[in-house]
Amino acid sequence: MKTSLAPCSFSCENLQRSVFTSFNLDKGLARLNPEQTRAVLHSSGPMLVLAGAGSGKTGVLTLRVARLVRGEGVDPSEILAVTFTNKAASEMKARLRTLIGPEATQCEVSTFHSWCLKMLRFYGHHLGFSRRFVIYDPKDCEGLATRLLGKRYSAPEIKDFLRQVDRWKNDGLWPEQVSGPMSDAYAHYQTRLRQEQAVDFGDMLLLVVQLLTHFPAVRDKIRSRARFLLVDEYQDTNQAQFQLVGLLADHGPRNIFVVGDEDQSIFAFRGADIANILSFEQQFPGGEVVRLESNYRSVAPILQSAGQMVAHNVQRLGKTMHPTRLYDETKQGVRVLRVPGPWAELDRMAQVVSHELVGVLPCEVAVISRTNRKLRMAEERLRARGVRCRVIGSVGFYDRKEIKDCLALLRVAIEPHDDAAFSRSFLLMKGFGKAALEGVADEAIRADCSLWDAASRIMGEGRGARGLGAKLKTFTDLILGASSLAPGTPPLFVLEQLFDSAGMAEQMDRQAKGRAARQANVMALRDVVSRLEAPTWREAISEWLDKVSLDPAQEEREDTVSILTAHKAKGLEFQVVCVLGWTQGEFPHFNSIPDDLEEERRLGYVAMTRAKDRLYLISAQTDQRGDPLPLSQFAAEAGL
């Protein structure tokens, strides 16, 4: 009689993995302080974790999930953890894999927008969307608004209109819920988005709120996959996200676990509402509040100065951060550097950075500014000294023209009714100008249809300006040729066929300046596309385009000094930080005094608490005209 060893082998492998992950979980739990332990071991019901800067909130979140799965026996597929950046989501996923093994993949760890996109792909048909709806980025939205409103609004007015639409959507408002001179344009804009089977970033949240509000069966299905809801950076939620969280959590024992810090609420300009975190106990009566007040990042002088400053705010739930690191007062701490003028400010910053790089890795040094204005000047000054540096938040890989052109070709091949991709791709063709595109756009407006359908009407009826029909046939044949490729065709072959047929190589060669960089970028894109995997090329490219639309940022190099705004610095940490513009009127910014002074103070707190060992606050005594500049009021508030 033969005995199979396979089941035993498999069982031993599982046992070994279980022992390993249990060891990691126990080890992680053993390292927690009492407040962190209380948060992680919380069983059910609402909980707010007030996590100060550097207090280990990511560890608490991931250990909380691991404890639910391993300690409480919760089905990992019933856990939803949402945050604001793909970087944070990826870090949580990696930690969970270490703590609970393969079961981590069953937990839904995602950004708000990525999760909402997933729900719309599943349930959007209830709202009239096909599974192949497209995501419009800000440039696409601008193009759509221009096509709709360009004859009534100037280019600056269209930008103002889109900013207002974004504010309305952040506040959870549809066209029928607003009034004013732009309300009709908002309704027209939304109607056109729906006709083009497109959504913008704000739509993703509001549409899922609609699903949860108006479709009880869908709501029950979604809630069953979010029985335990965890929200990171709760202080950054806007009203649409607040509504979404409320709808998801408002059932059963209300197992909602939110982590945030009201002292780091700095995104009001994006619609973030600090009232959401301040009112947590009113929204979820009976909820517990835990304060994480041990800081594992900054030495005492940095932490005490920042804490003393932000304590001047009224909009706080209140906490006192305590340093856990020992420090050497001869090598660590805070320095305010007053210099004669703005150029001396940049020179002093460059001197400080150059001096610090003698004993500190470049990736551990950051230059932070309140506004974008000084970033490039700081970069130039550092490069003049031979310092390798990078401006974080500059033009990203997927925002470069040649890359956006390639993406537009792929998008229109997958969904020909994507007007934004149609427009951009059409203008890539040699000899195809704006006048020809306007002819198609006029027909689309008259017939109330997509550009693709308008092109078909023009060709079918033989209308349009001289030569337009022939151009449209050339273009549509190109797109149909790619669309008809066999499902198993490699994604790279699809890209190359479109690239070659559109004559992009020739176009890129026309301008000598930057040619090598453009060619290198396209080669890098080809490398990315060559590694896409899915049963069909449409699925592979569609999934990838969704990811690119939601998170176009590329991984930054780590062998350089970082130059960034205080807003971009949120969530980062460095051994050494230089803050530029520590003057009244710049930090705090004069536009924010007095109405938004508390948010400015929180922004200053974020900038200061990025530093682990040394913090330099650099302030010019005069402006370019020689007029005196007072030191920032934050210096006195911080006791400096």
Q: Is 639 left (phi over 0), alpha (psi -120 to 50) or beta?
A: left
The pLDDT value given to residue 132: 85
Question: Count of CB atoms within 10 A of residue 338's CB?
Answer: 17
For residue 15, pLDDT beyond 50: no
The pLDDT value given to residue 241: 96
The pLDDT value given to residue 14: 44
**175-179 LR contacts (CB < 8 Å, sep 24+):** none
For residue 431, pLDDT beyond 80: no
When mean pLDDT is compared across 246-255, 456-465, 599-608, the lowest value belongs to 456-465
The pLDDT value given to residue 7: 38
Q: Could you report the per-residue pLDDT of 327-342, keeping only the tens digit for each? A: 888 888 999 999 999 9
Q: Could you report the per-residue pLDDT of 358-399, keeping only the tens digit for each? A: 999 999 999 999 998 899 899 999 998 999 998 887 666 788
- Identify the residue whose tokens are 């996200």: 241
pTM for the model stands at 0.83
Q: Could you report the per-residue pLDDT of 610-628, keeping only the tens digit for each? A: 999 999 999 999 998 999 9
Q: How confident is the model at residue 8 (pLDDT cuts 50, 70, 90)?
A: very low
The pLDDT value given to residue 472: 87
The pLDDT value given to residue 26: 80
For residue 4, pLDDT beyond 70: no
Q: How confident is the model at residue 3 (pLDDT cuts 50, 70, 90)?
A: very low
Count Cβ atoms within 10 A of the Cβ of residue 184 and give its class: 0-12 exposed, 13-18 middle, 19 or more buried.
exposed
Active-site residue list: 57-58, 232-233, 264, 610
Percent of the chain with pLDDT over 90: 62
The pLDDT value given to residue 583: 96
* Residue range 551-562: mean pLDDT, rounded: 68
The pLDDT value given to residue 466: 59
Q: Could you report the per-residue pLDDT of 284-299, keeping only the tens digit for each? A: 999 999 999 999 999 9
Specify the CATH class of 300-393+557-638 in words: alpha beta
For residue 464, pLDDT beyond 70: no
The CA distance from 266 to 513, in Å, is: 39
Could you tell me how many helices (H) and strands (E) the chain has, helices first? 28, 16
Superfamily of domain 397-550: PCRA; domain 4 (1.10.486.10)
* Residue range 521-548: mean pLDDT, rounded: 89
Position with higher pLDDT, 29 vs 233:
233
Per-chain mean pLDDT for the chain: 89
The pLDDT value given to residue 11: 41
For residue 552, pLDDT beyond 50: yes
For residue 21, pLDDT beyond 70: no
Which amino acid does the sequence have at 353? V
The pLDDT value given to residue 18: 47
The helix-helix angle for 138-149 and 155-170 (nearest 10°) equals 120
- Cα–Cα distances in Å, from 360 out to 259, 345, 356, 577, 580? 32, 22, 6, 12, 20
Say which residues have a Cβ less than 8 Å from residue 407's Cβ, sequence separation at least 6: 398, 421, 545, 548
**To which H or E segment does residue 231 belong?**
strand 228-231
The CA distance from 618 to 337, in Å, is: 5
- Identify the residue whose tokens are 């019933």: 78
Asked if 299 and 573 touch (Cβ cutoff 8 Å), the reply is no
Asked if 140 and 411 touch (Cβ cutoff 8 Å), the reply is no
Q: How confident is the model at residue 131 (pLDDT cuts 50, 70, 90)?
A: confident
CATH architecture classification, 18-119+207-292: 3-Layer(aba) Sandwich (3.40)
Q: How confident is the model at residue 69 (pLDDT cuts 50, 70, 90)?
A: very high
* Residue range 444-449: mean pLDDT, rounded: 84
In degrees rounded to 5, what are phi and psi of residue 81? -120, 120
Q: Could you report the per-residue pLDDT of 258-272, keeping only the tens digit for each? A: 999 999 999 999 999
The pLDDT value given to residue 559: 85
Q: Radius of gyration (Cα) for the chain, nearest Å?
A: 27
Q: How confident is the model at residue 9 (pLDDT cuts 50, 70, 90)?
A: very low
